Structure 1
């Protein structure tokens, strides 16, 4: 087996291992993170937080810091009952996934398979 053949066989395995091991600490941290409710977050926010010095009115919707982005990520769990038309029976179903808050009203966006 030549060097280039060995390289192309080892490269995908190494990349997969790097992705798995590199993402593991972030997943563990995300599981421990608690996202406060909108009212609790409003009570904590004040102009002296020192994040960027820009007021909320001056914001163009862009995220000013990684911490701001992290606070917008939410865990979504949807549970419901539906009727299977082929079988004619009711089934309980659940889905979960992550999403993120897109406005001050608390509207969250996620993928369709979550809900």
Structure 2
């Protein structure tokens, strides 16, 4: 499993509409082969800053399967005008993972 991490700086004042449009755009990324799940998280200290986390089966599912698809063109049309600057996107593999097993 590969984790895609993108830091999204949204133009100030456009956060609410971005969140609405992001919910709509989710259908395009989630339809791609190798997609597992994604989450969008909002920064508490900077209200126009978000982090996007996407789990992919492998790197190519994102870099080729998604980015070279018609679905990506729709994603781009809906979301890319919100960003300033354009997001930095990196990919990570898990080395160590722990979870609290005491939560009920």
TM-score computed with the length of structure 2 as normaliser: 0.25
Report which of the two has the higher share of strand.
2
Q: From the CA coordinates, give the structure whose radius of gyration is larger.
A: 1
TM-score computed with the length of structure 1 as normaliser: 0.23
